[in-house]
Every structure is written in C-alpha cells, then in structure tokens.
A and B are shown apart, each in its own frame.
Chain A
Amino acid sequence: MKQNASKAGGPNKLTKGLKNWNTFLVIVLVLEFVIFGAANERFLRIPLLLLSVNDFISICIISLFVTFVMITGGIDIQAGSIVGLTSIVIGVTWQDFGLPIWAAVALAVAVAALCGALSGFFIAYCRVQAMVITLGGSFLYSGIALLVSTLSSTESYQGISGFPDSFKFITSFKLFDLIPMQLVIFAVLVVIAYLLLHVSKYGRQVFLVGVNQDAAEFSGINSKLVILSTYVLSGISAAIAGIVLTSYLGTAKSDLGDTLTMNIITACVLGGTLSTGGKGSVIGTALASIIIGIMRFGMPLCFDVNTQYLDIPIGILLIVVVVGRAMVNKPRTAAILAGLKNKFTGAKA
C-alpha cells in the first residue's frame, strides 16, 4: 500500500508551495518568452507561435487528465498508444468500413474510453501496479492499432488521408481569424478539468483516494470506482488528442503519439503533481505543459537545437523537479548529495 509517512513531511509547506508553484511556473513561462524572443525575434511572431501549438497540443491535452490519474497515486504510460489507436480507428472505419466521419470519431472515443476502463479495472479492482498494467496496455493498444491498420487497404506506413473538410475543420478553423481551434479545445478542456478536479465533489474524492485510499474507504468513498474513472478520463483525453492530431496532419496513422509518454509525465510532475499522489492542480499542469511545448518550439528555432535532442532538456527538467522536491523533504540527504554530485559530474560527461 501507499506509504503515508513519507508524505507527511512538511505538509504545510506543501500547500503554500503549490500556490507559489503556479506563480513560479508563470515566471518560467515569461522567462522562456524573454529568452527565446531575445535570441530570435521570429519567435515572437504571433502566427508562427500559434502554429507551433500543433506540435505539442497533445501533450497539453493528455497531461491535464493524466494529472487525475497521478493524483490517485497511479500513473498512465499508455495514453500515447491510445492516441495512435484513436487515429487509426477513425481512419479505417471511415475509409474502409464507410462509416460517416463523425460516427467514426465517436466510435474512436468509445474505444479509447474502453481501453482506459480496461486498464483502470485491472489497476483498481485487481490491485496490480498501475505502471505495469499501463505498460502492458501500451503494448496491447499499439499492437491493436497496428492490427487495425492492416485491415485497411492503405499501407500502414503511408497513413490514411483524404478526410472530409468538416473533419479538417477542427484544426483549420481560426477563432477571430487568429486563434486556432486546437487552442480553444484546450482552453475548454482546462475549464472542464478544473471544474471536475477543483470544484466538484468528484474531484475531492480523487484527491482523498490519492492521499489515503484506506481512509477513503472508511469514509464510504468508492475508491476503486474513482480510480477506474480517472483512467477512463485519461483515455478519452488521449482520444481527443488523437482526433486533433489526425485532423491537423490530415492522415491517420497507428504510431502517432509514440513519443509522448515522458513529456506527459514531465508536464504533470513539473505542474506540481506529487508523484506519490494526493496533490496536483489542473492549472499547474496546464502551465507546465505549455512551458514544455514552448521549449520544444523555441529551442530548435532559437538555438538551432535538433528536435531529436529535446528529450535531454525534458528529461533533465523531470529529474531536477523530482529530486528538488525530494530534497526539500529530506534536508539530511543534502550532505550526501553534495558528496556524490562531484562523482557524477565526472562520470556523466
């Protein structure tokens, strides 16, 4: 079960920390704009900036709801594979099975929710570690996506394209001729997630289950159902990301979203979600995911960093945040840290 003792350390600092944390994130975001803007004035061109949203909108959308999962003390590393599954289901059912495009979309969302529910069921009701199940899930759902793609007459590496305009509209429409629809969708999802997590009774249950599942059961909360529901939510959010991505790219492929996992987890953790559960915020995650997105956009543009190198700063960011948090809780280890640090800086280079 969960170790509550480890969470008790300096709890008061934590809440205050979380409020300050969002301020901190805003500062980081502003800094990003200042630094990238100074390095390359093209960065600040609004249309270009808004266009860049497409490259990281999936991270933003999914991490919002993976935050729910992580607050219950779980983790979700299957969301990426559900993105691909959604995409290919839309493509195949529309092109090869002749479903109307919106029916195909609805079906894809249902499939994604079902995938989330299946993993959630095993995690909540069979008490398997979330990590292992979603690991298996990532295999299974990407495998199914691959199999679905073989049902199509189109070769899977090409991807299914030629979607109707009504479907492309999702990403081609611009509000006030400026703001892309994806951002609007993201904003709506932020509001929904915020209401669910921070204003509704459901959100309170999510938190309580994450803090202490046993105590939640003693309070009459159906903790298993709550846990399951968070995986359904993250599955649906992955489906939405898959729809947006498919619409934007104009092609349905089974391997979309393969590389999202670490970015999503980083966004959640950077956003202030406690990796052991019980704490987290929608605003924090939203801010953190935008920070990551801007970083992914700005670094190649302004500092000529190869896109493929971006895993390094994201990985470092993740580790710095989690280790930093751990250090706040364990001041005693700071001394050991100092000693070991020297060794590492030598070994890692």
Chain B
Amino acid sequence: MADTTTSAGSEKLLSVRNVYKAFGLNTVLKGISLDLDRGEVLALIGGNGAGKSTLMKIIMGIYTPDKGEILVNGKGMAAGKTSEALASGVYMVPQEPLLFPNMSVEENIIIGFQRPRAELHKELVETMENIGWHIALDRKASSLSIAEQQLVEILRGLMRKAKVLILDEPTSALTFKEVESLFRCVEDLKANGIGIIYITHRLNEVFQIATTVAIMRDGVITLSGDVGEFNHNALVKGLLPTGAEQETKETSIPVDYGKEPVLELQNFSGYGFTDVSLKLYPGEILGLAGVVGAGRTEMATTIFGMDKVLGGKVLLNGKDITGMKTRDVIKAGLNYVPEDRHANGLFKISDVAANTTSAVLKGPKLGKFLLNKKTEREMTQKYVDDFRIKVTGQDQLTGSLSGGNQQKIVIGRSLCTDPKVVILDEPTRGIDAAARGDVYKIIHKLREEGVSILLISSDMEEIMELSDRAMTIYQGRVNCEFSKEDINQDNLTSAAFGLTKKEVGA
C-alpha cells in the first residue's frame, strides 16, 4: 500500500516481500514489504496488535507466512524454518527473553553451536570485553533480571555473528542507565555493518538511534523513510487511524466532584506499585496512563484480589475491600477487564453465552443450583445487541471471533455483575480501528449510565479521548495528575516517561 521502499535492489541485506498472514479470521499482516541494509537501524513502530511481532516471527521462521517471501542477501529463505534463519545470520531478541531458566548464563549463550566449548568460551569473553558488558557466566538464568536476560539474548545474537539483529521492544523493561548502555551497543553494531530492526513504541527512541523508520498499523506499513524526513508529529500522524482526525468530543454531563468518591485508594501498595492514592468519582472516567511495566496492571489485579496487598487501603463506596477475594470484590461492585484477554479473559473453546455470564455464576442471578438457560440467553443477547457483537449465534465459540468482538464480550462479562466501578485495562489492545470506535462508544455509554471507570492505558490518545481526569503512573508511583483541560499528548507522554518537564515532541 503506502509503502515507499522499492524492492528493486536484490542485494539488500534483508528484504521482506509482500507478506500476508492470518490467524483464523484475524488477518494480521496484509502485504508487508520492507528492506534493511547493512549498518541500518530500522525503527519499526506501531501500536499493540499492529502485527510487528508476527512479522518478526515470520522473518525468524517461527511462523510460516500465508503469502510472500523473505530474502537474505538476495537469497530466498525456506518459510517456517528457524534453523535456516539462524544460519543466514538473522537473530531476534524477543520482547520477553526466552532463556532456559535452569541453565547457566554461559550454557544459555553457547547452546546450539557446533563448535568446541573452550573456543566458544574464549569468544564469549572477548565479545563481552568488546562491548563492555559484564555478567557472571555461571549464574543461573532464573536469577537474572529482565535487563540482564536481554543482555544474554543480545550476546547470543552476537555470538552467532548475526548480520540482522531484531530487537523487539528491548527497552520496555530497562532502567534509564541500561537503556543508555543498550544504545551504545546498538551504535557499535551499526558501525560494524550489522543491520538492526528495532521495534519500539517509544517515539523519542526513534530519533535517538534509528537511521530509517517504518510505521505499521493494522497489518500494513503506513509510512516509511529516513528518520531525517520526519518529525515527532509526522510519526504520530502515521500511527493514527486514517480519518480519525479527532472527532469533536460530545460534551457530556460534567462530573460532580462534590460527591463522595466511589473508589478510593489510600497509600495503596503492592508488588510492582507503591503508595498509590487516588479517588474515582461517580460517573467519572479516570485515565491512568503509563508505559508497559509501570505497575498499572499489578495495581489493578491487586485491587481485584489477585495478589498480596502490602499496605494502604481500597475503599469502595466507603466500604473497605482491601485484600478481599476476587469473588467478594466482584460482589461488592467492582469488576476488572484484564489486559491480556487471551490469558485471563476469554474461554476460547466455550460459547458466547458461557463467556458472557461466567462472572455471575456465583450469585443468584442465574438460578440457585440449576443454570437458568433462559436468563442466560437474555442476558447474553442484551450485550450482543447493545455492543453490536458480530456472532453467528450465542453458541459460537469465542476463539473464532475477531479481537474486537472478543474484547466486547469480555467487557460485557464484567458488566453482567452490575458493577459500580469497572477497571478497564488496555481495553483496545490488539483490536482494529472500527472495533476501537465501538469500544469507545460503550465506554461513553457506561459513563452516562453512571458507572465509574478507571481506564488504564499506554495509548495516550485513548486517555485523551475518553478521560474526565487523568493520572500518570511511572515506576510504580503516581507522579502526575491532570484535569480535563490539561490532558494532552505532551503532558501525558512526558509524565508517563518520568520526565516532569515538557521536552518530548517537536
């Protein structure tokens, strides 16, 4: 489509030609083409679910594309063969490092090689010396921090004399210092003629280290070229859905901040977040912005009774619900729509009805002992109609639905319990633009019905679009609060990245 790279030069280090991939009904890649030269750092940006990770797995030979081909040095690679990708010098450092937890660092790095161990050891020590990273080689991988694990992964790639190195959101779990040393390493690699695909969703990183940039959205590359051709705003535009030129926000009923808050956190602490205090008022949408790993999800799941509370209080309508079991929290009137809908939300081989009503099995709504199928049908139909969920019938299995419809069902499930407060965690992750619009409408409608919403998102535009008030969370602490007028991309992004002053953006 809007792909500007010409695929004429067959001597490119890596060329991806017109790759298509679908999972079930969900087409993830719709004709991707891109090229990578020696010494080039290609920043690949895109929201969650844009298809970046899928594309990388295809390049690595983990997935087989439905259509299209991958060329390394002008030579076509057999699809779906990891060993061949490795042999031609492609190596990926995955977002969540896939180390062998019970092996030592050294074993982790040299496994899979066909050369003598002593030789590898020597080379490994030299490589570490070269890039100035030190890590005890006899440590067990399970004792490493995420950053250290990533380091081990990169060493793995370097030891393999990788010519193409794919870094999949390498900085998402790193501290500032670690990011710096990673960038130095990337510079070195670049100088050595290694081509790097650098996946990120942090725009400022693009300008720091990339030479070229490509933006992916909904399975296509919408924008690409030299970094110099773009500024911050141009990139943001590429990320936005076409035609989403900011619909005029309907002025809705203002929130009455004089009322008692529905949900109140008092110095709430747990694993991954510390000392969080906030108030959520009736009929309010409170945006909680933060990058992945900032502690947002941990906070939400701890409120929801999934993890240990380390301090502070949670009050729901003045009632203390701190440390309650999940089912009691639901009963008290709070529900949570999980961030990872595949792992924690959906029952894929169960039907639409069973999914929608799964949270009300505990209460008396669906009958005392026997399941009242009629009530179940009605309840499900209500959400199918209200949310415009596209299903062939209530007995369709949710695994075969598109991401957007799945998400609507998970939201519907949480509403079945008549909550006063709903925590939505990344409600539009991995769903297409149309479904996103629908989800936004649902959220607005809920607000009108008087449900209070805590909206967790790393998508700043989402926060801007929906919130009455916004807070940012950075490294486990709430660091800023913005009233409706102050909510804008710059404010949110800089706060979410821990920069209190405006310095991001052009």
Contacts and interface: CB of A to CB of B under 8 A. Distances in A.
Direct contact of A and B (CB under 8 A): yes
A200 B370 contact: yes
Interface stretch (B144-152, B209-217, B288-296, B396-404): B396-404
Interface of B: 24, 304, 306, 326-327, 329-331, 336, 338, 342-351, 354, 358-359, 361-362, 366-367, 369-371, 395-397, 399-400, 413, 417
Interface in A201-219: 201-205, 207-208, 211-212, 214-219
17 contacts: A4-B342, A11-B349, A15-B397, A195-B370, A200-B370, A201-B369, A204-B354, A205-B361, A207-B350, A208-B354, A211-B348, A211-B349, A212-B347, A214-B343, A220-B362, A221-B362, A274-B349
Interface of A is mostly: helix
A220 B330 contact: yes
B437 to A, nearest CB: 26
B217 to A, nearest CB: 25
B358 A208 contact: yes
Given A11-B397, A217-B306, A218-B338, 4 more contacts: A215-B343, A215-B346, A219-B413, A278-B349
B344 A218 contact: yes
A309 B467 CA distance: 71
3 smallest beta-carbon distances between A and B, as pairs: A220-B327, A11-B397, A211-B347
A215 B340 CA distance: 10
A347 B3 CA distance: 55
Interface string A275-290: 0001100000000000
A211 B343 CA distance: 11
B350 A200 contact: no
Contacts of A14: 349, 397
Nearest to B413: A219
A342 interface: no
Contact of B400 (A12, A199, A217): A12
A222 interface: yes
A14 B350 CA distance: 10
Contacts of A216: 347, 358
Interface in A188-240: 195, 199-205, 207-208, 211-212, 214-222
Contacts of B326: 217-218, 220
Contact of A201 (B24, B344, B361, B413): B361
A195 B331 CA distance: 27
Nearest to A222: B327
A207 B357 CA distance: 13
Contacts of B347: 207-208, 211-212, 215-216, 278
How many chain A residues sit at the interface, stated as a range, is: 20 to 34
A218 B336 contact: yes
A7 interface: yes
A219 B361 contact: yes
Contacts, number: 101
B371 A7 contact: no
Q: Which of A203, A205, A208, A279 counts the most B-chain CB atoms under 10 A from its CB?
A: A208
Contact of A12 (B350, B397, B413): B397
Contacts of A12: 396-397, 400
A219 B306 CA distance: 11
Contacts of A200: 369-371
B399 A204 contact: no
B359 A11 contact: no
Contacts of A214: 343-344
Contact of A219 (B343, B348, B359, B371): B359
Interface in A247-301: 274, 278-279
Nearest to B348: A8
Contact of B358 (A199, A221, A222, A278): A221
Contacts of B413: 219
A215 B400 contact: no
Contacts of B24: 8
A199 B371 contact: yes
B327 A221 contact: yes
B413 to A, nearest CB: 7
Nearest to B395: A15
B119 to A, nearest CB: 36
Q: Which of B349, B354, B358, B396 counts the most A-chain CB atoms under 10 A from its CB?
A: B349
A177 to B, nearest CB: 35
Nearest to B357: A204
Nearest to B369: A200
B370 A8 contact: no
Contacts of B344: 212, 214-215, 217-218
Given A201-B369, A218-B326, A220-B330, A212 B348 contact: yes
Interface in A1-16: 4, 7-8, 11-12, 14-15
A12 to B, nearest CB: 5
B196 to A, nearest CB: 29
A201 B371 contact: yes
Nearest to A203: B371
Contacts of B306: 217-218
Contacts of B417: 220
A73 B269 CA distance: 35
B370 A201 contact: yes
Contacts of B348: 4, 7-8, 11, 211-212
